[in-house]
């Protein structure tokens, strides 16, 4: 038996209940892992609220690190005793022990501790696919301006550092002076407090009226329209989240009017769908963290018993950097 967070129905943080759950042996292509730490992400809120529907009752959580206890038939890249970390489906990482598919579980290098491993996989590989794979026409070169919303969040702070390492001029937005200061300290070339300033006007001022090549947006409804206006002709609007709510339907012709723009909706789970792609992305993340170019900032730690409060703080945008559950 193991302690695990379960939800019986979609709703608020009060739906997160700790239960005793039976854990069996791994089947073909599976492993059993004993967690050392668990990562929290905004997608967990989407699962809990029902924005992303799940069959009930359900586990929750997409990211963790720990020790592999057993491997099933056909698993060759892991063995019992390995340190490991993952981001991947199905949800269910808010627990002490679980059986899960092995394909998206990666060996954790010895020089990366378990808390860092739990905090960085989903957010770090998200930053990787955005800055390295989700690119505007002609790609990105050193000196190019990009706009990154929620720059003081878990993905944002990693992206600020990684963009600086790539020579990009990242313009980061956040909702307070404190969060803007944090983004600046982590490598953002420019910061905009959108609660005080019109971010579209500031972006145009920073770029000399040209606009940016790409907008990376996990906020959604509240930032969508003005973000399109921040793009230069043939620019790319890259949506990867809905923190303020889903983007309303829009007429495609608006993209032509605003400069023959491109729009894409990305999700990590498409990028890590194959074992090979997942490992390649994780290796690049491990390398950039081990090099010191990207530091994983864990600003909040909650015991598993306080998971409801962790979700309240996450939804209220009271958190910065990464958040983990401790076991």
CATH number at residue 240: 3.40.50.720
Question: 116 and 40 in one domain?
Answer: yes
Residue 311 in domain? yes
Burial of 66 (0-12, 13-18, 19+ CB in 10 A): buried
Percentage with pLDDT > 90 across the chain: 91
Residues paired with residue 263 on neighbouring β-strands, in sequence order: 237
Q: With bands split at pLDDT 50, 70 and 90, how would you rate the model's confidence at 262?
A: very high
Global confidence as pTM: 0.90
Domain tally, the chain: 2
pLDDT score at 113 = 96
Q: Please state, rounded to an integer, the average pLDDT across all residues of the chain.
A: 95
Q: Which domain holds residue 43?
A: 2-120+296-326
**CATH code, 80:** 3.90.180.10
Residues paired with residue 142 on neighbouring β-strands, in sequence order: none
The Cα–Cα gap between 7 and 95 comes to 13
pLDDT score at 246 = 85
Question: 87 and 23 in one domain?
Answer: yes
Question: 256 and 145 in one domain?
Answer: yes
Whether pLDDT at 134 is above 90: yes
Residue 69 in domain? yes
Question: 306 and 257 in one domain?
Answer: no
Question: 204 and 179 in one domain?
Answer: yes
């Amino acid at each position: 038996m193991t302690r695990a967070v379960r939800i019986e129905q979609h709703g608020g943080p009060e739906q997160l209940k700790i239960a005793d759950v039976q854990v069996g042996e791994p089947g073909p292509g599976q492993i059993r892992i004993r967690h050392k730490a668990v990562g929290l992400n905004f997608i967990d809120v989407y699962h809990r609220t029902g924005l992303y529907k799940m069959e009930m009752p359900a586990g929750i959580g997409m990211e963790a690190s720990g020790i592999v206890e057993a491997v099933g038939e056909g698993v060759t890249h892991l063995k019992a005793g390995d340190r490991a970390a993952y981001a991947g489906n199905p949800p269910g990482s808010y627990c002490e022990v679980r059986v899960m598919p092995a394909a998206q579980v990666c060996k954790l290098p010895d020089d990366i501790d378990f808390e860092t491993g739990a905090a960085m996989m989903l957010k770090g590989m998200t930053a990787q696919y955005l800055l390295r794979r989700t690119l505007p026409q002609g790609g990105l070169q050193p000196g190019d301006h990009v706009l990154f919303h929620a720059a003081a969040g878990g993905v944002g702070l990693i992206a600020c550092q990684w963009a600086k390492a790539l020579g990009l001029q990242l313009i980061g937005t956040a909702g307070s002076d404190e969060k803007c200061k944090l983004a600046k300290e982590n490598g953002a070339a420019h910061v905009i407090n959108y609660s005080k300033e019109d971010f579209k006007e500031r972006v145009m001022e920073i770029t000399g009226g040209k606009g940016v090549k790409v907008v990376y947006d996990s906020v959604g409804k509240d930032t969508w329209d003005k973000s399109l206006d921040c793009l230069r002709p043939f620019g790319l609007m890259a949506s990867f989240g809905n923190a303020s709510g889903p983007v309303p339907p829009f007429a495609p012709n608006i993209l032509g009017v605003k400069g023959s723009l491109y729009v894409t909706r990305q999700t990590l789970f498409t990028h890590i769908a194959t074992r090979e792609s997942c490992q390649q992305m994780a290796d690049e993340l491990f390398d950039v963290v081990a090099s010191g170019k990207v530091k994983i900032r864990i600003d909040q730690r909650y015991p598993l018993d306080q998971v409801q409060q962790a979700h309240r703080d996450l939804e209220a945008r009271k958190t910065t950097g990464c958040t983990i559950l401790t076991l």
